[in-house]
Amino acid sequence: MLRNLPLYAKILIGMLLGLIFGFLIVIFGIQHFATDYIKPFGTIFLNLLKLIAMPLIFASLVSGISGLSDVSRLSKLGIKTISLYIVTTIIAVSIGLVLVSLIRPGSYVNEAKRVELLEKYSFDLAKRQQAAEGITQQSPLQFLVDIVPENVVSAASSNTSMLQVIFFAILFGVALILVPNSKVTAVKDFISGLNDVILKIVDIVMLFAPFGVFALMVSLLVDFVGTDLGSSAQLFASLGLYALTVVMGLILIIALVYPTFLWIYTKVSFKRFYRAIFPAQLVAFSTSSSAATLPVTMEQVEKELKVPNEISSFVLPVGVTINMDGTSLYQAVATVFIAEVFGIELTLVQLLTILITATLASIGSAGVPGAGIVMLIIVLNSVGLPVEGLALILAIDRPLDMLRTTVNVTGDAMIATVVAKSEGKLIEN
Ligand code: ASP
């Protein structure tokens, strides 16, 4: 019977069983069992997803671009996609700013809790600070330099260099259009065959998804709760309102902003969209990585939402690297929260600065776990807030990362659908 269930149901069952098992393991105190025998399967699943991300981007982007008849269509597609991504990010940051100003979660954290959190997490903080230091010393145009790789093989060897691989794939695809067809038919056929092979690998990997998600959930829960269920519960209570503000913002994006975009620009119903994208959301939630989720997002968007490969192969990988609505909202909420806990009143100009830097910082965040909190340091710096404030929110960053990644991935899929429609390439039912 289980065999005939749709993929999302199987993944959901894996996730729920993972949560139940995780709790039982903590209650019975057999965490080492989870670390030794369950966690490795989660890591294998994650590796499989990461393994196919780069070849998938390359093959599918090149075959998508070479299917376009002329280069000007590509630049139109690029401008449209990036503009939509920036608009949704600005909306997300604004929602975050409004919510955090109304709820004021920082005013509920007392002096004693503040000192405790700052002490407990300052070690972890040093690591993140180091990571961000390199970034803050760079030229403002460094992001442009970073897009162009000096060596394509080394770019393809790191999942954080997605934009570099996208750049090379676009260059390759454009050149393929410009060279006379008779000379490159073999190359085009090869790439299109390669693309089919990689999509088949995605299908195979997805068979393992319910088990992978199960293992990831067990190890996440065990890592997060540690050995002391009571103190984790306490922590949640003191940071609960902050977390709730982020979660409310994320729900607003999912339940209001995205459906509105879909409603204005397409005829795809809310229900159909979310049913199609649900497996990708579950994988995003359990991996906290939109980059690792890309193969699943692409598969769902193409198969279920009927967005053609020539659109999704461009819009989705670009989205994974630059479009992070969940992350940008979280960065805005976290910044204002930290200011409030430190008793610092923010001016209107500072709030506007947060709007701009959170938008840029989310663009600069890679689609990997914890990237958002590193880039948050830049937002804090921009308004002169103490970076130590990060220690306040580190404790519950992982669950929030899971949720914001889910939103990030959903945003990419929504824009892919809207762009496909605007290009007249969407089969809507
Ligand atoms: N984990 C997020 C993502 O992959 C980025 C972040 O907010 O940390 O989309």
Per-residue DSSP letters for 118-175? Answer: HHHHHHHHHHHHHHHHHHHTS-TTHHHHHHS-S-HHHHHT-GGGHHHHHHHHHHHHHH
103-107, 108-112, 264-268: the lowest-pLDDT one: 108-112
- Distance in angstroms (rounded) separating the CA atoms of residues 377 and 355: 14
Task: Determine the average pLDDT of the residues in 259-265.
Answer: 95
* Distance of CA 371 from the midpoint of ligand 1 (Å): 6
The band of 85, judged by pLDDT with boundaries at 50, 70 and 90, is: very high
Structure tokens at 204: 């195979």
**Looking at the domain assignment, is residue 404 inside a domain?**
yes
Most ligand 1 atoms within 8 A of CB, residue of 365, 374, 400, 412 to mutate: 365
Q: pLDDT higher for 410 or 166?
A: 410
Q: Which atom of ligand 1 is nearest to the CA of 362?
A: 7
Most ligand 1 atoms within 8 A of CB, residue of 253, 286, 324, 325 to mutate: 324
Number of domains in the chain: 1
**Looking at the domain assignment, is residue 125 inside a domain?**
yes
pTM reported for the whole predicted model: 0.84
Percent of the chain predicted with pLDDT > 90: 44
Structure tokens at 5: 């269930």
For 173-221, write each residue's pLDDT tens digit: 989 988 998 999 999 999 989 988 988 898 898 889 899 999 998 988 8
**Looking at the domain assignment, is residue 429 inside a domain?**
no
Of 90, 247, 64, 62, the residue nearest 170 (C-alpha):
62
Which long-range contacts link 105-111 to residues 24+ away (Cβ below 8 Å)? Answer: 105/241, 105/242, 105/244, 105/245, 105/337, 105/340, 106/242, 106/336, 106/337, 106/338, 106/339, 106/340, 106/341, 107/340, 108/241, 109/238, 109/239, 109/242, 109/341, 109/392
Q: What's the CATH code of the domain at 321?
A: 1.10.3860.10
Most ligand 1 atoms within 8 A of CB, residue of 253, 289, 333 to mutate: 289
Structure tokens at 340: 């409030």
Of 394, 337, 331, the residue nearest 357 (C-alpha):
331
Q: What is the pLDDT of residue 46?
A: 84
**Looking at the domain assignment, is residue 427 inside a domain?**
no
Q: What is the pLDDT of residue 235?
A: 64
Q: pLDDT higher for 234 or 376?
A: 376
* Distance of CA 365 from the midpoint of ligand 1 (Å): 7
The band of 413, judged by pLDDT with boundaries at 50, 70 and 90, is: very high
Q: What is the pLDDT of residue 322?
A: 86
Q: Which atom of ligand 1 is nearest to the CA of 371?
A: 8
Letter string b/e over residues 214-253, b meaning 16 or more CB atoms within 10 A of that residue's CB: bbbbbbbbbeebeeeeeebeebeebbebbbebbbbbbebb
Instruction: Using the predicted structure, report yes or no on whether residue 127 has a pLDDT greater than 70.
Output: no
* Distance of CA 136 from the midpoint of ligand 1 (Å): 19
- Distance in angstroms (rounded) separating the CA atoms of residues 272 and 429: 9
Q: Which amino acid is at 268?
A: V
**Looking at the domain assignment, is residue 320 inside a domain?**
yes
Q: Which residues line ligand 1 (CB under 6 A)?
A: 288-290, 324, 327, 365, 367-372, 401, 404-405, 408
Instruction: Using the predicted structure, report yes or no on whether residue 236 has a pLDDT greater than 70.
Output: no
Residue nearest to atom 1 of ligand 1 (CA): 369
For 274-299, write each residue's pLDDT tens digit: 999 999 999 999 999 998 999 999 99
**Residue 103: how many other CB atoms lie within 10 Å:** 19
Q: Which atom of ligand 1 is nearest to the CA of 370?
A: 8
- Distance in angstroms (rounded) separating the CA atoms of residues 376 and 137: 15
* Distance of CA 150 from the midpoint of ligand 1 (Å): 26
Task: Determine the average pLDDT of the residues in 88-98.
Answer: 96
- Distance in angstroms (rounded) separating the CA atoms of residues 129 and 426: 44
- Distance in angstroms (rounded) separating the CA atoms of residues 404 and 323: 12
**Looking at the domain assignment, is residue 279 inside a domain?**
yes
Residue nearest to atom 6 of ligand 1 (CA): 372
Give the structural domain span for 142. 2-422
Q: pLDDT higher for 310 or 130?
A: 310
Q: Which amino acid is at 110?
A: N
In a 3-state reduction of DSSP, which class is residue 359? helix
Q: pLDDT higher for 326 or 8?
A: 326
* Distance of CA 161 from the midpoint of ligand 1 (Å): 15
Most ligand 1 atoms within 8 A of CB, residue of 286, 288, 362 to mutate: 288
DSSP state letter for 108: G
Query: What is the residue-averaged pLDDT of the chain?
Result: 87
* Distance of CA 379 from the midpoint of ligand 1 (Å): 16
